[in-house]
Structure 1
Amino acid sequence: MSALELWGAEYQENDALLLEEKDLARFDAICKRENAPYSVVGKVSGDGRITVVDKNGKKPVDLDLKDVLGKLPPKTFKSNTLTANLVPLSLPTEVKINGVLDRVLRLVSVGSKRYLTNKVDRSVTGLIAQQQCVGPLHIPLSDVAIIAQSYLGKTGAATAIGEQPIKGLLSPAAMARLSVAEALSNLVWAKITDINNIKASGNWMWAAKFDGGAAAMYEAAVAMSEMMIALGIALDGGKDSLSMAANAPGEKLPVKCPGALVISAYCSMADVTIHVTPDLKRLKDGRLLLLSLSSKARMGGSSLAHVYNQLGAVSPDVEDFKAFLAMFNCVQSLLAQGLVSAGHDRSDGGLLTTILEMAFAGNTGVDIEVQASGDFTKEQLLSRGGIDFLFNEEVGLVMEVAETNMSKVLAECKKADIRCTSIGRVREDPKVTVTLAGSSVFTSDIRILRDKWEATSFQLEMRQCNPACVKSERDTLKDRKAPSYKLSYTPTPTAELSGKRHAVAIVRQEGSNGDREMLAAFHAAGFDAWDVHMNDLAAGRTNLSNFRGVVFVGGFSYADVLDSAKGWAATIKYNSKLSAQFQAFYERKDTFSLGVCNGCQLMALMGWVPEGPGKMKDTAQPRFVHNESSRFESRWTTVRIEKSPAIMFDGMEGSVLGVWVAHGEGRALFPDKKVLKAAQAANLVPMRYADDDGKATQVYPFNPNGSADAIASLCSADGRHIAMMPHPERCYLKWQWPYMPEDWRSDLKSGPWLKMFQNARKWCDTN
């Protein structure tokens, strides 16, 4: 490559570091341990110049920094403000709510995002307190993401996004304000430290080089700035893509994207457990409340207008910043007092969609009933047969509140001078009814509507997943119920330790990513957990003889280039010293091992389960291969603990628990069926995937990979060596569970999966 190419290339996945020369040797040692290549590309000279020296000793770049960082002459950009010919929304006279809803629920921006959430790892690190999915059915509907700062406390941070690009076609300023409002209307459901601590990044995407583009972007920037200043929040970064246009074949004019501003807001949290999700939870006494800024029902840029191929004339907007701030702070106060059980913002799709989504996630029904009052007149409620009220996308929040908390919540809203309207209640059966100003305007079944809301997502799934699996998930979702979790023991915190902490090696390889949460889980159970890289063992910096336990963690060793764990297994098998060291560890009677996910695949390839290394031909050895769905699966799934000799499941037999899975190659394959039958007969299958009734199943997605006999785990005959695809180390704390029955969440003193690690400690104490 030429000096110009090296100097000007925009390299991806590269980091630039500045360190003192005395630290270079230490940095070199770290990089070698992690198999991370690096290059020293320069040094700080202090002479005020930036110089590039090529391989021939020439200086193709030799600049005085004042010419780069000094006062450059200002540039002037001119852009005209363009005026669009806007036409008010006009709907066919025969249109009814049912027909509108059928279209809106299928719109990509409104409907389920399941096609995105199941194919990415949403649990890695074990610090995730809230990811995209919520409720007993794990519906992709979360408004806010929450990550904990550590495993030892509850401090953390919340983040949420807001974007309303279509409304920008009507008013760039309104679009910017609505983007800020949506980000905060999503963030509000997590109890943050203070609204003034909120920072945000702004991602600008615009065809700014075309006439009118820069002017519209400037208008949006001013509006965003004014609103953020009024609310006490601020941007601290972002990026821009200002060439969002392309010449399409057969088109005379360039195709321009709608100007868009994406606000990503984030803030610190004192306690990551203080937040609510959209899924309705109060089946017997749940009341629904709407917090709104006005009674307006502007339909411009709405999903309803979109599905009728229109834009409309007037966009929703945020005119009263003080009212919005009061609403935000009021909800934060209600969260701190534990008075809200569910919450969701009114946005794409309008109020009816918002409430239905909450019911979809909670697997409940709803009675929506709004009386004519000072908040909304009869004419406003019944405009276009209720369509305007139910489908406008004005800023608003919907809360589920227990009947017993209603008086307190209403008093708080009145004190804050917030519009708070009673809009219905939760019902146990799957029916939905809508009554406005005393008139019944809509009745349906939640299951039918949820199927429509999921329809577009499932069509997209067909193009990236095994179609048979997509059909199976769609069919099972129609009549699903909450999983029937069961505990055969009482989870308890780890007792104060009187003896020494047993040493356990948390072994990782290049590409591993599950080591930190595994270290934390074993530490919580009373172990002295050590971070051990395979390079440490190969270089002799440590030895497995120093440890009572060895744990092979999850991740993507060597990027799964040779299939999962094959490269890792080869580094052991074809290194005589390492091979002998691992064999000696396996044969010791005072040791145990655990392999999770990538580590499970490794243990199978090494023959550690079910019969032991060298006990059968490689061609007969069980292994874990590509999922039946033909893709990576990230799911909160249900497993059943079976009778087995596995020491880490002692006392857990019969329990049915939720657990994370995150793998692309988790299907248990037995080339020799005799080996499968032998493992079954000897009870060497300590864990199976289960359905909502707690029964072992082959049905997708309950069985996320198609494993034979629903096998999720294998163990050795003496129970000391256990391989499993699910990730208990990512959910040993209660707040790590994305869904947990309410009585468990309030009554249990510790997470159910902690016992598994405590069992290992107990075994070490007595062996």
Structure 2
Amino acid sequence: LCPALGVSIPVGKDSLSMRTTWKDEEGSKAVTAPVSLIVSAFAPVSDVRESLTPQLRTDKGDTALILIDLGRGKNRLGASALAQVMQQIGNEVPDVDNADDLKAFFNAIQQLNREGKLLAYHDRSDGGLFATLCEMSFAGCTGISVNLDILTMEGEHASDWGDSKNWATQVAERRNEMTLRALFNEELGAVLQVRADQKSDVMTVLRSYNLGACSHIIGKLNDRDAIEFTRDAKVIYSEPRVNLQRLWSETSWRMARLRDNPSCADAEYDRILDTSDPGMTPVLTFDPQVDVAAPFIATGAKPKVAILREQGVNSHVETAYVMHKSGFTAVDVHMSDLIAGRAKLDDFNGFIAVGGFSYGDVLGAGEGWAKTILFHAQLKDQFAGFFERQDTFALGICNGCQMMSNLKSIIPGAQAWPKFTRNKSEQFEGRFAMVEVMNSPSIFFADMAGTQAPIAVAHGEGYADFSQTGDIKEAIVAMRWIDNNGRATETYPYNPNGSPQGITSVTTPDGRFTVLMPHAERVFRTVQNSWHPEEWGEYSPWMQMFRNARKWVG
């Protein structure tokens, strides 16, 4: 198959017969691992902006759904999810019967994507066509109507169906069997969403690759938020999308209730019930494509900023890059460099304390890092002197936020800052969530107040805890979590850590020192975002933060 597809196999290893033996007081024992095969494939992606997702688009007018069936009607059910549910194995399993079909399919999809004719794409795999369509419906929060006629017909004459005396019964039974096969076979294939006025053009392209006979227009979106299937002009199955999505999510929800905070698991599961949820809706109060740092970069001056890191952090490279793009000279500074005297904060206009897991968070998130400063007289004096200077700035992101919050005793104006502790969900949160920039003196958020945008989240201890230290009434909030309606929230998962009043960033009265839990440095380019509005250009709104720092330095 690989030679036929033009795919090279760089390395191989036989790991199909793993067996472990040992002896104990009861004698010799052995365990043989279940036979399994793991195949890893990789390929270059020339432009990540051309990627496709299963999310059905509801903002593109009338659209159509097209099934490309590379099984060409064989509908083999062996080893399928349906067979498993029926406690069977089956006799015939799907296979790649024609490598040329697979190559043609790939090339056709590439052409259609280049021409901008594809709105959504989802492969047919576990669960077959039924699962594929449901997952696309869930991703788009929309109903779909699917016609199964073309997928459940065979033969040209009544005699093809068997004994004419029992024709009606035989036809009904055969059509029901074919319906199950059509919906649940896991043959190679995919479902495409295309614009209704372009479906003829799409079919023409597919025919040019000899895929016309196995490509079928099978459905469209509906405004009833229901997933429904018709055959012979009759609805044979219809269920509200919400009900099916709840069933689809139930296993994960039950596992999360056992593993995580049950109330958080329930809150996320119940989100599905909110059919009025508009989804992420960014609101920008400025144009991210206008470079406010450009006049200062044009002078040729490149102020030095320390990319401050410690053992276990992992965000220093992207942080250095965004500061470089904003007009700074970014210098990699490890804490050991400061201790050994190879670098001094006196030589820098600012520093960015980066994210990650310093010392594996074994002393609490960011606490070990902070203690290497507070318990080292020379370092403590050096940091205190840096904070006292009036020409300096600092930003703590994620682990850097946690670290700087533990340094507040030597940061002027930071006394009201909280301590960042375990997320309310009791789990590490890796998400994409909405935040709102508040009106604050922070130099990083200058002229950004009111902006609402998604941002990357990756932390286990982001809860802004004012119970032991700090003052929530006096804290100057620079950013807060919001729901998809733009309201400050403590509800999970819109607020991934449960912080009171949605607080996720605080600053000092003069705005020179700011800490924030989410990762703005990981999403400053539009292509870094898990999702973004189509109209965003090269840079996301978060680039403005770092340009603002360059503007402030002058």
**TM-score normalised according to structure 2 size:** 0.89
2:41 is aligned with 1:241: no
Correspondence for 1:537:
338
* Partner AA of 1:757 in structure 2: F
Correspondence for 1:727:
519
Q: 1:653 aligns with which of 449, 464, 471?
A: 449
The 1:342–1:461 alpha-carbon spacing in structure 2 relative to 1, beyond 3 Å, is same
Question: What secondary structure sits across from 1:273 in the alignment?
Answer: helix
Task: Give distance in 1, aligned partners of 2:266 and 2:342.
Answer: 52
Task: Give distance in 2, aligned partners of 1:532 and 1:377.
Answer: 74
Q: 1:471 aligns with which of 263, 266, 275?
A: 266
Correspondence for 1:695:
487
Q: After superposition, what is the alpha-carbon deviation per residue over 1:374-409, rounded to whole angstroms, capped at 9, x for unaligned?
A: 997797993427211111111111111122332321
Q: After superposition, what is the alpha-carbon deviation per residue over 1:207-246, rounded to whole angstroms, capped at 9, x for unaligned?
A: xxxxxxxxxxxxxxxxxxxx11111112212444334578
* Partner AA of 1:491 in structure 2: P
Q: Which runs of 5+ in 2 are unaligned?
A: 22-28, 157-170
The 1:254–1:585 alpha-carbon spacing in structure 2 relative to 1, beyond 3 Å, is closer
Correspondence for 2:279:
482
Task: Give distance in 2, aligned partners of 1:764 and 1:375.
Answer: 72
Contact 2:16 2:37 in 1 (8 A): no
Q: Describe how 1:237-636 pairs up with structure 2 within 5 A.
A: 237-243=11-17, 259-283=35-59, 284-293=61-70, 294-372=72-150, 382-384=175-177, 386-418=179-211, 419-479=214-274, 480-492=277-289, 494=291, 495=294, 497-499=297-299, 500-607=301-408, 612=413, 622-636=418-432
Task: Give distance in 2, aligned partners of 1:537 and 1:404.
Answer: 64
How many correspondences in the alignment? 522
The 1:556–1:301 alpha-carbon spacing in structure 2 relative to 1, beyond 3 Å, is same
Question: What secondary structure sits across from 1:443 in the alignment?
Answer: strand
Task: Give distance in 2, aligned partners of 1:274 and 1:584.
Answer: 49
Task: Give distance in 2, aligned partners of 1:523 and 1:358.
Answer: 40
Question: What secondary structure sits across from 1:421 in the alignment?
Answer: strand
Correspondence for 1:750:
539
Question: What secondary structure sits across from 2:518 in the alignment?
Answer: coil
Task: Give distance in 1, aligned partners of 2:324 and 2:290.
Answer: 12
Task: Give distance in 1, aligned partners of 2:506 and 2:229.
Answer: 52
Contact 1:303 1:348 in 2 (8 A): yes
Q: 1:666 aligns with which of 452, 462, 482?
A: 462
Give 1:660 deviation, angstroms: 0.7
The 1:384–1:414 alpha-carbon spacing in structure 2 relative to 1, beyond 3 Å, is same
Q: After superposition, what is the alpha-carbon deviation per residue over 1:125-173, rounded to whole angstroms, capped at 9, x for unaligned?
A: xxxxxxxxxxxxxxxxxxxxxxxxxxxxxxxxxxxxxxxxxxxxxxxxx
Contact 1:609 1:716 in 2 (8 A): no
Question: What secondary structure sits across from 1:661 in the alignment?
Answer: strand
Identity %: 38
Contact 2:153 2:175 in 1 (8 A): no
Correspondence for 2:168:
none
Task: Give distance in 2, aligned partners of 1:502 and 1:377.
Answer: 77
* Partner AA of 2:5 in structure 1: L
The 1:538–1:549 alpha-carbon spacing in structure 2 relative to 1, beyond 3 Å, is same
Task: Give distance in 2, aligned partners of 1:490 and 1:436.
Answer: 51
Correspondence for 2:163:
none
Q: Which runs of 5+ in 1 are unaligned?
A: 1-226, 248-252
RMSD: 2.4
**TM-score normalised according to structure 1 size:** 0.65
Give 1:576 deviation, angstroms: 1.2
Task: Give distance in 1, aligned partners of 2:440 and 2:233.
Answer: 61
Contact 1:433 1:444 in 2 (8 A): yes
Contact 1:383 1:389 in 2 (8 A): no
The 1:258–1:330 alpha-carbon spacing in structure 2 relative to 1, beyond 3 Å, is farther
2:546 is aligned with 1:760: no
Task: Give distance in 2, aligned partners of 1:605 and 1:467.
Answer: 30
